[in-house]
Amino acid sequence: MHGHRACIGLSALLIAACSSPDPVRPVAPVRPVAVEQSTSAQVTQGSPEQPQHAEQSAATEPPAAPKPPPPKPLPTPPTSEPMVAIRLAALPLAQPVVLKPSGKVRIFGDGGGISAAWTTEGTLTVRLLPDGWKVSRSGGGAAPSERVFARGPLLIEPLTKAGDIRWNDRDWPGEMRLHATEEGIDLVMSVGMESYLPGVIAKELYPSWTPAAYRAQAIAARSYATVESDRWEGRRHYDMVAGQLSQAWIGATDNAKANDAVRQTRGQVLVESGSVVPAYYSSACGGRPANAFGTVTDNPHHDIPSVSTGDGAARKDGCCGSSSAASWKVVIPVSAIVTRLRAWGAANGRSDLAKLDGLARVEAADRNAAGRPVAMRLRPTRGADLQIQAEDFRRAINAAGDAKTSIKSCDCEVVIQGANATITGRGFGHGVGMCQHGAEAMGRAGRDERAILGRYYPKASIVRAWK
C-alpha cells in the first residue's frame, strides 16, 4: 500500500552533509542515554512542566501493540522526501466514517482503476457493507448522491493544493485510505514527511519552549519516522500510529513555532555510520537515561550509543533536574500491584507472574551504566523470587489505566509497608535518547539544535538528506 512512497534507502549519497554536531562528551561513567520512542499521544494540557509527550498519560495507552517484524538493518538516508503512512484510528466495522474534505477529492478503490473514480466534494459518509464501501455525499452545493466501491482499500485524494480532510474535529493532510481489516476499519493518511512533522512536534512540546528545542525535536522526529517508514514498508499498510506507540500527531497545525522548525530543518536527519538513527526520545530522563535496546526495541540494529548526562548532582541538574518530573511519589495498594502483575503475566506468557503469590519486596535486580534499573526482582510472600524487565514493570503497573496509581518511569524505589507500597522515582517516560526537558533546558541556556542533538546522540551527525 505504499504506491506513492518515494524510493528510500537506495543511495548512500547525501546531499549537502552538514558538519557533525557538537557533542557533549560523556564525563566519568558512561551513561547510556537513550531515546524514546515517542509514544506520546495524550497530553496533559494543564501541566506546564510536562511536554506533551506520549508517555504523559500512561493511563490511556492505545490497545494492542502491533507485533514488530524481524530485525532489519537501519536505512541509508532517503534521497528524496519520503511518504509516511500514519494510522489515525482503528474503528469498529459498523461505524460510519464522516469526512469533510477542504475541497474537491477523487475517490477510488485501490486496484479498481481510475475509471471507477468519483470526483466530488461536500460531507462524505463512508460505510463498510458486506460487498464494499458505500460513500454518501451531502452538502457542497450539489444534490445528495452515493457510490459503491469494491471492498479493497478505499482511497480519498484531495485535488486542491494542500488540501486536507477533516475527521474527528481535525484537519489531516495527505491522501486518506480506509482499509477493512478483520477487526475493523483502519483510517490511514499517506502524507509527505515534511507535511507530517509540524503536527508531531506541535503536540510533543509546550508552546512556550525555545525554537532550538523545536528544531532538535523536528530532526529527531524526522529521523525516527524515516526509520519506521523503512522498517514497515511492504509489511504493513501503515508505518506509524498517531499516538503513544509511535509519535503523537494532530494533523495540520497553524503552530508557527512548529512549522518554522520543520521548514528550517527540512530534510535533516541524524546519521551514524551511513545509516539513519532511530532517534527515540522521551519526556524526562530523570538524570539516568536508558539504553534503547531492551527498553523500546529488541532489534539490535535499533540500539543507540550511550550518552552521558554528567555526573552526580550535575547530572540531574544539568539535564531535566528543574522539571516537575524530576522526582515524584505515588502510593499504591500492594494488592493492586499484585493484581496488575498477574494480569500482565497472563497476557504476556509469564505463567510464573500470573501466579504471583503476594508481594513482600521489589528492588532493582540489574542497572545500566547510568544507574537506571534494567530489571526488577520481585519477592513473593511465598515462593521463589521472580524477575521482570524494568520497563515491563512500569507497563504492568500502568496497564490498569488509573493515572493516580501509575508510575512515571521505571527508575524508582518501592517500599512496602503493610498494605501499601510507596514508590518514589525520577523522570517521565522510558528515558531513551533525547530528553525533551533536558533539550529545553539547553535551549534556554542558548544552545542550538546541533548542541542539543550532539549531547543526546553523540555519535550522530546532522545530514540534509533531501531538499
Give the residue with the Cβ less far from Zn ion, 156 or 319: 319
Total binding residues toward Zn ion, as defined by CB under 5 A: 5
Give the residue with the Cβ less far from Zn ion, 108 or 428: 428
* Binding letters toward Zn ion, positions 295-334, x by CB under 5 A: ------------------------xx--------------
Single residue of 75, 109, 429, 438 touching Zn ion by CB under 5 A = 438
**Residue position matching grid coordinates 538513527:** 277
- Sequence-separated (6 or more) residues with CB below 8 Å from residue 46: none
Smallest separation (angstroms) from Zn ion to the CB of 182: 41
What span, in angstroms and rounded, lies between the C-alpha atoms of 396 and 340?
6
State the distance between the two ends of the chain, measured CA to CA, in whole angstroms: 25
What span, in angstroms and rounded, lies between the C-alpha atoms of 275 and 280?
15
Give the residue with the Cβ less far from Zn ion, 374 or 435: 435
CA-based nearest residue to 42, from 51, 24, 32, 54 = 54
Give the residue with the Cβ less far from Zn ion, 195 or 309: 309
Q: Pairing relation of β-strands 373-379 and 386-389?
A: antiparallel
Give Rg (Cα) of the chain: 23
Give the residue with the Cβ less far from Zn ion, 279 or 320: 320
Which ranges in 300-424 belong to alpha helices (H)?
312-318, 334-347, 351-354, 390-398
Smallest separation (angstroms) from Zn ion to the CB of 104: 48
Smallest separation (angstroms) from Zn ion to the CB of 445: 14
Q: From 188-196, 231-239, 291-299, 429-437, give the range in contact with Zn ion by CB under 5 A.
A: 429-437
Q: How many CB atoms lie within 10 A of CB 128?
A: 21
Smallest separation (angstroms) from Zn ion to the CB of 23: 16
Site for Zn ion in 83-142 (CB under 5 A): none
CB 187 within 8 A of CB 87: yes
**Residue position matching grid coordinates 477533516:** 166
CB 205 within 8 A of CB 214: yes
Site for Zn ion in 269-288 (CB under 5 A): 285
Smallest separation (angstroms) from Zn ion to the CB of 207: 20
Q: From 326-334, 410-418, 430-438, 457-465, give the range in contact with Zn ion by CB under 5 A.
A: 430-438
Dihedral (Cα; 10, 14, 19, 24), 10-degree rounding: -10
Give the residue with the Cβ less far from Zn ion, 267 or 438: 438
Give the residue with the Cβ less far from Zn ion, 353 or 390: 390
Q: Does 425 bind Zn ion (CB under 5 A)?
A: no
CB 360 within 8 A of CB 381: yes
Site for Zn ion in 337-366 (CB under 5 A): none
Smallest separation (angstroms) from Zn ion to the CB of 430: 12
SS3 400: coil
Smallest separation (angstroms) from Zn ion to the CB of 92: 40
Smallest separation (angstroms) from Zn ion to the CB of 177: 38
Give the residue with the Cβ less far from Zn ion, 353 or 452: 452
CB 177 within 8 A of CB 119: no
Give the residue with the Cβ less far from Zn ion, 198 or 438: 438
SS3 123: strand
Smallest separation (angstroms) from Zn ion to the CB of 119: 51
Greatest C-alpha distance within the chain: 72
Single residue of 58, 124, 412, 435 touching Zn ion by CB under 5 A = 435
Smallest separation (angstroms) from Zn ion to the CB of 311: 14
Question: Measured between alpha carbons, how far is residue 318 from residues 284, 306, 438, 441, 458 in Å?
Answer: 12, 17, 7, 8, 16
Give the residue with the Cβ less far from Zn ion, 135 or 325: 325
Binding residues (CB under 5 A) for Zn ion: these are: 285, 319-320, 435, 438
